[in-house]
Amino acid sequence: MPFVQPELGLSNTQVGMLAGGLSLTWAIAAFGVGFVADRFGSRKRMLVACTVLFALCSFGSGIAAGFLFMLLTRLLMGVAEGGIMPLSQSLIAAQVDPRQRGLAMGIAQGFGSSLMGSFVAPVLLVGFAEAFGWRHAFFLAGAPGLLMALLIAWTVREAPATTAGAAIPRKGRTTAGLLAVLNDGNVIRCALISIAFVGYLVVTWSFLPLYLTQVRGYDPDTMKWVMGVLGIAATLFSFLIPGLSDRIGRRPVMMVVPVLALALPLSALYLSVPAWGLAVLFFAGWSFTGIMPLFMATIPAESVDARHVGSALGLCMGGSEILGGVLAPLFSGMAADRFGLQAALWVLVLLAVLGACAALGLRETAPRLVSVRQRAV
């Protein structure tokens, strides 16, 4: 955005609209695709189509000449991206040992996307944009999508939906479809947590680079490495924290980790330390990404009937995007235009507190612990 904003003449509000527009269509697609996949079982084919569309939209972003065209490409990209995680996680839920489900879903949702998207991408694409321009960086970013579509078509297998997901019986469970999903307390709490932390994620990627360059005075080269640290953190925590939850339980992890998200905005606002010191604190604060696979995929999948896993994941991944991914960056952009970029970081503080509060009351779903308690009873 530090490259795109001045060339296209974007206000901070328009920056927020670009992020929020993608999140809006992402949300609609995530829920819609998950619901359709539950009914027709065509997860693999839909996943290939979404991945190809994502790559084409990235190419389209590279040729945008103004705000409206860029907004259109981001809206369409949201349609493509929204279906990818519900489809992927539904496939994993169908085929992975339940005792290792948290680790598997954490790797799928966080490890690859964090290593490549959050670490390699800022470092590589910012350098590429400096050398060749931001438009060519969008072309580079879209190319792997075509390769991934081929690999998915070639290597991914699809199991019947009836073998998927939750195998945790509990008193009072109903299989009344979408109504059962909406009536489940864990799913609703996970959706609320998603609202907070999806918003946190989108606001961070939209406005933290601008804050670092315009307020803290970092040059683009320093900024890219500070932002790249977030990718390293997300890569490590994406399997460490879900793997830990397989052993000690989902609930203890969800009670502690959200609070750590406060470290990032507060350190950026108040600590006058070298860039490397800020990067260390950002690393600690970004540990919250390790619970994203839990509240967006693992816990909902373990909380509902196996036939409705796609709908539950779509609600937590997609429904929450409308409030968190759409309104949070839009509000942050408007606040930044009126009060300065520091207002966007205060939005991060508020979202972290809301996410931590929403985690209170989650019931335990880790198969290892649930089976032990059932045997004890």
Q: What would the pLDDT profile of 116-146 be if each residue is shown by its tens digit?
A: 776 777 778 778 888 888 888 888 888 888 9
In the numeric block, the tokens 């860039």 are attached to: 275
Q: How far is CA 246 from the centre of its chain?
A: 20
**H helix and E strand count, the chain:** 22, 0
> What's the CA gap between 188 and 167, in Å, rounded?
19
The residue count for the chain: 377
Q: pLDDT value at position 150?
A: 93
Q: Which amino acid is at 190?
A: C
pLDDT at 37: 67
First-residue to last-residue Cα distance in the chain: 56
The per-residue pLDDT for 64 is 87
What are the CA-CA distances from residue 283 to residues 118, 171, 235, 286 (Å)? 12, 41, 11, 5
Contacts 24+ apart (CB under 8 A), 219-224: 220/2, 220/3, 220/126, 220/130, 221/126, 221/127, 221/130, 222/275, 223/2, 223/126, 224/122, 224/123, 224/126, 224/127
The pTM of this model reads 0.70
Low-confidence spans in the chain with pLDDT less than 70: 34-35, 37-41, 110-112, 118, 159-180, 182, 306-308, 310, 318-320, 371-377
C-alpha dihedral sign at 74, 75, 78, 83: negative
Angstrom distance (rounded) from CA 59 to CA 42: 27
Q: 236, 282 in Cβ contact below 8 A? A: no
Radius of gyration of the chain (CA): 20
Query: What is the sign, positive or negative, of the torsion defined by CA atoms of 106, 192, 284, 245?
Result: negative
Q: Which tokens is 332 given?
A: 């942050």
Amino acid sitting at position 339: F
> Is the Cβ–Cβ distance between 167 and 306 less than 8 Å?
yes
Residues 6+ apart with CB under 8 A from 178: 35, 308, 311
**Among residues 311, 72, 358, 32, which one has the least CA distance to residue 200?**
358
Q: What is the DSSP annotation of 156-186? A: -----GGG-S-----TT----THHHHHH-HH
Separation of alpha carbons 331 and 13, rounded Å: 8
Q: Which of 65, 81, 92, 90 is nearest to 24 (CA)?
A: 81
Domains observed in the chain: 4-156+178-376 (1.20.1250.20)
Q: Which of 314, 231, 246 is nearest to 104 (CA)?
A: 246
Pick from 195, 202, 248: nearest CA to 356: 195
pLDDT tens digits along 54-112: 899 989 888 888 899 999 998 998 888 877 877 887 788 778 887 777 778 777 776 66
Tokens describing residue 271 = 């600590």
